[in-house]
Structure 1
Amino acid sequence: MLRYTLMRLGVFAGCLVAVWGLVYFGVVPRGLGQSNGMWIILLALVISAPLSFVLLRKERDRASETVVRRVDRMKANLEANRSQEDEAADSARPQGQIS
């Protein structure tokens, strides 16, 4: 998951540098007044999102598989703990008593 996040940040950083260069050389218009920095960041975000979606597909799939395995393992642990608690409660109850 960390690898995917770092790769997304890398794509964003590359887009940020590219957009800054395009604005600096006048290919893309500057923002209004003092909004130039915000304009560059927003434009880089808009460009990097679909690029990340396409370029990092395999890494995203690997990260999601890791998350699914972790969730499945946590569910199994919770179920094991729940069954242990049920067994402990059943053994602590006197034989003829029903709750």
Structure 2
Amino acid sequence: MGPAVSAKSSAAIKYTALRLAVFAGCFALVAALVHFGILPKGLGDSNFVWVVLLAVVLSAPISFVLLRSQRDAMSEQIVTKVERTKARYEANRTQED
């Protein structure tokens, strides 16, 4: 059961790491655009919050498109685990009757 669990974890970890990498790239791009004055700096001291919000808004659709296969693989592994858990629960329930 050990290798199967680590394979399941690796799909989620891989997707999360790639998602964070896409966000980091968007953050760096937005920060550079704000620094060079191509994008506005926000209001007062809100520069960091502005950059983070823009990076989140940009990274979400990019991740949705670019990470589709990783998201599907993670989803399949989650569905498989849920189905096994349901089957185990049902088997335990019928044994008690």
TM-score (norm 1): 0.85
For 2:39, the aligned partner's letter is V
Highest Rg: 1 or 2?
Answer: 1
Give the one of 64, 83, 91 matched to 1:72: 83
1:4 matched to 2:15? The reply is: yes
Deviations 1:58-99 (A, max 9, x none): 11000000000000000001001101111xxxxxxxxxxxxx
1:42-61 matched pairs, under 5 angstroms: 42-61=53-72
Return structure 1 stretches of 4+ with deviation > 3 angstroms.
none
State, as a whole percentage, how many aligned pairs show the same letter: 58
CA RMSD of aligned residues (A): 0.5
1:29 partner SS: coil
Q: Which runs of 5+ in 1 are unaligned?
A: 87-99
Say which structure, 1 or 2, has more relative contact order (CA 8 Å, 6+ apart).
2
Q: Distance in 2 between matches of 1:3 and 1:79?
A: 32
Q: Which runs of 5+ in 2 are unaligned?
A: 1-11
1:32 partner SS: coil
Equivalent residue for 1:27? 38
Give the superposition deviation at 1:2: 1.2
Equivalent residue for 1:40? 51
Higher helix share: 2
Alignment length, in residue pairs?
86
